[in-house]
Each structure stands twice: as structure tokens, then as C-alpha cells.
Amino acid sequence: MTQDAAVDAVRSAAMALEPGREAAALRDLAGTARVVLLGEATHGTREFYRIRADLTRELITTRGFNIVAVEGDWPDCHRANRWACGRGQDRTAEEALGDFTRFPRWMWRNREIVGLLEWLRGHNAGVPTPQQAGFYGLDLYSLHRSIEAVLAYLRTVDPLAAERARARYACFDVFGQEPQAYGYATTLQLAAPCRDDVVAQLLELRRSAAEYVSRDGYVAADDYFAAEQNARVVKDAEAYYRAMFGQAAQSWNLRDQHMMATLAALLDHRTRLSGRARAVVWAHNSHVGDARATRMGDEGEWNLGQLAREAFGGDVCIIGFTTHTGTVTAASNWDEPAELMTIAPSLPGSYERLFHDTGLECFALDLRRAIGSVLAPRRLERAIGVVYRKDSELRSHYFDASLPRQFDLVVHDDETRAVEPLERWSRHEVDLPETFPTGV
């Protein structure tokens, strides 16, 4: 099929989305799915956050969803979750997001997330505790925060067990707060791995579950689950950091396997406590779009989207998001401050350029319909993470993919804006002369 014919086919199949009114249309397209995965082409685009937040509210109020699971660390999200459920000591949503101190803070410390948490708190105020909607983290980078959380929980419910846990976790002490140093040292066999210690701690916690959760009904069960999940994070993070200095596919697979295991555990936990569980998941397109349809799969990587389809079959709906140009919040290099950057127009031969050429501003495509066969041949697809390097656009931010095999639906917003972080951007690239160095 020629490019012009493909453009015409997309234009005919597209469902126009009016800003602020996308949620109902996307809810209907998602159908009866029990798990809805919402992607993003960048980690710093306002429209992606806003549309996902609107759809999340719609799924909670009209479809009974009670899990919001995001590509964030478990203990950081747990503090926000407690505030959203009317617990904890924080006075505002911004305070409740105070544990998001690890780079990149803007992913969750931004105005759209504040608005979502405030809505969740208002919604939950009128709902019995077991039926409240929670905000949870799926990621595993929080090795030391999770250790602290396990110890804090055990000091409250079982001080002797806390002492045993502290002795096991002391295995990491020599490395300070640098889990990468632990991974490097164990890879070179300069230090013994902590694998047996973290596994033993998780098993001991599980053996004591019945005793701990029998004390205070739902709240005790929820607190225990949070502690067990932190112990699971420690176990999986230990393996992840050891794998960092090996093959890239191994560490990626461990991370997404952890995300899938956490999602499954959340569904089981909420089903036991409230009789039902439906989850909406927020993560980058590279995590939620089925890896088997991309270069990732060709290289031996799997991801959350693939694992969810394998586990839930027709009960999962995956929605990807794309954009052609605009602005984005990102950093020039890892662990540097957030910047307001311009997004280069999408490259010829990409899905994004194909969608731009339709002349439509914002639309959805149901890739399960006939348009899926039109778009099935692989094209370039753009992915901007927390670092954006325009000087190496093709090498750094594009990969080959078959969009209809990755996603069930795709939302394209042609010109988008940067998400607004709670902390100010360090630099506004859009206000600088074109000759300003890129900092790559």
C-alpha cells in the first residue's frame, strides 16, 4: 500500500477526540476489559497524563476499577495511596508525593498527578474502606526504601522479627545507598550476593502473615500486604542490580517480570479483601506495548504488555499514545534536572509521521478492526523516556514495531505540551535561541 493510501485509510478509520472529552470514548472502546494498560510515548507529555487521568476516573466511577498501578516505586506510591485513602499524616497531595525524590521526580511529582490524587481522596471519602480505589507502584528501584519500610512495619508488629530482618538486610550495608555498587561488586565476585538473605526474609514474613493480619481486619491486612510487597521488591531488586552488568535483556526482563508479578498480586489482594479487582496501569509504551511486536522481542526481551496478554487474554486492553511534535519535560542526561524541551517533528517512515499526514489533531484508532491490517507492516515508532537527545534522534528514540500487534488501541495527539513538574524546569529550551547548545 502506498503512503497516500495508508494516510487515507487512517483518516477514514480515525475517531476524532475532542480535548477534555476523550475518556468516555476510550472507555467504550476498552469494553469489558478487567485490566487496562495505558501507555505514553514520552515520560513528560501533559496530554498523556491528562487523558490517562480522565480515563482512570471514568473507569473507577463507571466500571468499578479499584487499582491504579503506575511505573513508580512501591514505597513512594504507598505514601500517596495512604493519603488518597484518607490515612497518613500528610495534609496535601503535594506532601503525599514527598517520597518521590529519585530521578526523575517529574514523572509523578507533577500537576496532573496532584489532581488525580485529590480526586481519588474525594472519591474514596464516600466509599467503604474495602471498596476504595488505591494508587500503587509497580517498579523495583527502591531497594533501600523498601528495606526501611519492612523494618518499620516489623518494629510495630514483631520487634524480634525486626531484629532478624535487620541482620539479614545488613548484607547491603557495606555498599551504602548505592545498589549499583552492590551489583558491580557481586558481578566481579568481589562480594558475596545477598540473595539467600532477602529470600529468607520474604519467606519468614509470609509464614507470619496469618498472625499479623488477624489483629485489625482490613487495615491490618492492607498494611501486611504493603510490607510483603516491600520484601518482594528487595528480593527482586537484589536480582535486578546483579543483572545490570550482564546482558541488557536480562535486567529488563527481571524488571518487567516484577511489574507483572506486582500487578497479579494486587489483583489477588484486592479480590480477597473486597470481592473484586480491576486495574488501570500507567507505564511507558515500551512497557505496555506487547514486546513481541517490536525489536525488543527480536532481541529476547519481554515486557508487561506481553506478560499481561499471556496471563489475562481477552480481559486486557492495551492503549498506546503517540505524538508528532510539541514540547516535553525531559533531561539532557541521566540524573540531571528537568528541562522544557521542544520535540523534533517525527521522522518520515514512522507511524507518527503517517498520523501527522492525516491532518487530524487528536484521534483514536481501534487497531483490532480493519485498519490494523493496513498498519501491520513494521514502521519506525518513537519512544522518549526521561532523557531526550535530539542530536541522535533516530538512534536514541526510534525502533521498529508493528503497532497493531503492540496495542489494541492507539491515541494520537499531533502537537502536545510538556507536563508541568512541581519543581520548576531548570531551563526552557523553547525560549532559547536556536544556536543554544543541546547539552547532549
The reply to whether 406 falls in a domain is yes
For residue 389, give the C-alpha cell: 537527545
Sorted by sequence, the CB contacts under 8 Å of residue 167 that are 6+ apart come out as none
The structural domain count of the chain equals 3
- In this structure, are residues 49 and 113 in contact, taking their beta carbons and an 8 Å threshold? yes
> Do both 235 and 370 map to the same domain?
no
pLDDT in tens, 300-358: 999 999 999 999 999 999 999 999 999 999 999 999 999 999 999 999 999 999 999 99
- Mean residue pLDDT of the chain comes to 94
- In this structure, are residues 226 and 134 in contact, taking their beta carbons and an 8 Å threshold? no
| C-alpha–C-alpha distance, residues 197 and 182, integer Å | 14
Number of separate helices (H) and strands (E) present in the chain: 20, 12
Sorted by sequence, the CB contacts under 8 Å of residue 16 that are 6+ apart come out as 360, 362, 363
For residue 83, give the C-alpha cell: 493519603
> Do both 125 and 155 map to the same domain?
no
> Do both 345 and 201 map to the same domain?
no
DSSP 175: G
Nearest of 323, 318, 307 to residue 382 by alpha carbon? 323
> Do both 289 and 247 map to the same domain?
no
By residue range, what is the domain housing residue 215?
A: 140-255
Radius of gyration of the chain (CA): 22
User: Which CATH number belongs to the domain containing residue 4 in this structure?
Assistant: 3.40.1660.10
Query: Please, which pLDDT band fits residue 432 given cuts at 50, 70 and 90?
Result: very low
Q: If phi over 0 gives left and psi between -120 and 50 gives alpha, with beta otherwise, what is residue 176?
A: left
DSSP 349: T
In percent, the amount of the chain with pLDDT more than 90 equals 88
For residue 50, give the C-alpha cell: 491528562
pLDDT in tens, 82-114: 999 999 899 999 999 999 999 999 999 999 999
CA 285 to each of CA 47, 49, 60, 232, 292: distance values in angstroms, whole numbers, following the listed order: 15, 13, 22, 25, 13
The reply to whether 284 falls in a domain is yes
Mean pLDDT calculated for residue range 281-297: 97
CA 386 to each of CA 313, 331, 383: distance values in angstroms, whole numbers, following the listed order: 31, 6, 10
The reply to whether 47 falls in a domain is yes
The reply to whether 36 falls in a domain is yes
pLDDT in tens, 193-240: 999 999 999 999 999 998 888 866 677 889 999 999 999 999 999 999
> Do both 338 and 209 map to the same domain?
no
> Do both 60 and 117 map to the same domain?
no
Query: Please, which pLDDT band fits residue 265 given cuts at 50, 70 and 90?
Result: very high
The reply to whether 167 falls in a domain is yes
Mean pLDDT calculated for residue range 30-52: 97
> Do both 351 and 435 map to the same domain?
yes
What are the backbone dihedrals phi and psi of residue 337, each rounded to the nearest 5 degrees, phi first?
Answer: -65, 155
> Do both 178 and 318 map to the same domain?
no
Q: What is the pLDDT of residue 430?
A: 56
For residue 102, give the C-alpha cell: 529519585
The reply to whether 267 falls in a domain is no
How many other C-beta atoms are found inside a 10 Å radius of the C-beta of residue 389? 17
- In this structure, are residues 339 and 330 in contact, taking their beta carbons and an 8 Å threshold? yes
| pTM for this entry | 0.94
Question: Residue 2, SS3?
Answer: coil
> Do both 430 and 340 map to the same domain?
yes
The reply to whether 263 falls in a domain is no
> Do both 374 and 326 map to the same domain?
yes
Query: Please, which pLDDT band fits residue 419 given cuts at 50, 70 and 90?
Result: very high
- In this structure, are residues 37 and 305 in contact, taking their beta carbons and an 8 Å threshold? yes
> Do both 290 and 374 map to the same domain?
yes
Lowest-pLDDT choice from 132-136, 155-159, 168-172, 425-429: 425-429
- In this structure, are residues 157 and 226 in contact, taking their beta carbons and an 8 Å threshold? no
The last residue of one of the domains, among 119, 137, 155, is: 137
Residue 433 reports pLDDT greater than 50 = no
For residue 193, give the C-alpha cell: 550476593
> Do both 206 and 349 map to the same domain?
no
Grid look-up 481519588 returns: 120
The reply to whether 272 falls in a domain is no
The last residue of one of the domains, among 255, 286, 320, is: 255
